Amino acid sequence: MPVSRDVARIEAFSDAVFGFALTLLVVSLEVPRTYADMMASVRALPAFAASFAILLMIWQEHHSFFRRYGVHDGVTIWVNGLLLFVVLFYVYPLKFLMTMLIGPGGVLLGGRPAGVEGHQVPGLMVMYGAGFVSVFLLMALLHWRALACLRRDPPADVDLGALRLHMGACLVYVAIGLLSTAIAQFGPWPWAPRAAGLSYVLIGPAFYLYYRWIGPRLASQQV
């Protein structure tokens, strides 16, 4: 099974895709022509920053995976390709949703963004939740594949307990995304969209509980 720290080609291709995704975030901004346009761009900065931070978080998880485990068999390459496809597809929906939530007149700020009807907001939250779940489900699948490859003949410098721990951490993200999607889909209007967005704040407490109670049991399992 192909296992090597020399995964430069996979990482180079992946980094190019992430870089292109960040470029799409930037090119969606227009150059200000007036003072009013400049102030509008400044007010939109939180939405851009949130979108940038989410992409950076995904890239960090992706980078750490290949640095730690170096698996590059055919299944891993295709799962990684699917992950990059999802990242590219969701760039504009992500920016749109962040603008709707925390941009000027955002839903979480008590406003109603222009061009979005009230009944359309839950659908947008479901779309974002589906992308969030897809990304981290694919990350969990990458870790599962690495575990399947490495457990047969684990290298001395690879901790399979840590691999299981990181795979479970990806599933924590999946669980929060599913919770948000369920709230947006089935919760009553008008509080459901706000609650669906705020539910991502639970990531912090969920990770605290995971690393305190569940993670140590996964890490201590025998190969």
What sign results for the dihedral spanned by CA atoms 39, 41, 44, 47? negative
Identify the three-state secondary structure at position 222: coil
What pLDDT is stored for residue 199 in this prediction? 93
pLDDT in tens, 129-175: 999 999 999 999 999 999 998 887 777 778 888 899 999 999 999 99
Q: Identify which of 97, 19, 96 has the alpha carbon closest to the alpha carbon of residue 59.
A: 19
Contact 150, 144 (CB under 8 A): no
Question: Is the confidence at residue 61, as pLDDT, over 90?
Answer: yes
What pLDDT is stored for residue 129 in this prediction? 93
pTM score over 0.85: yes
Q: How far apart are CA 82 and CA 176, in angstroms?
A: 21
Question: Is the confidence at residue 96, as pLDDT, over 90?
Answer: no
**Average confidence score pLDDT of the chain:** 85
What sign results for the dihedral spanned by CA atoms 79, 96, 102, 126? negative
pLDDT in tens, 106-137: 766 666 666 777 778 788 889 999 999 999 99
pLDDT in tens, 17-54: 999 999 888 876 667 788 787 787 777 788 889 899 99
Higher-pLDDT residue of 58, 110: 58
Q: How many CB atoms lie within 10 A of CB 60?
A: 10
What pLDDT is stored for residue 192 in this prediction? 86
**Contacts (Cβ under 8 Å, ≥6 apart) of 158:** 68, 69, 150
What sign results for the dihedral spanned by CA atoms 205, 209, 215, 216? positive
Contact 202, 176 (CB under 8 A): yes
Higher-pLDDT residue of 14, 45: 14
Question: Is the confidence at residue 88, as pLDDT, over 90?
Answer: yes
What pLDDT is stored for residue 169 in this prediction? 94
Contact 93, 49 (CB under 8 A): no
Which stretches of the chain are assigned E, i.e. beta strand?
none
Q: How far apart are CA 218 and CA 27, in angstroms?
A: 43
Let me know if 158 is exposed, middle or buried by CB neighbors in 10 A (0-12, 13-18, 19+). Answer: middle
Q: How far apart are CA 141 and CA 220, in angstroms?
A: 20
What pLDDT is stored for residue 82 in this prediction? 97
pLDDT in tens, 202-222: 999 999 999 998 878 877 765
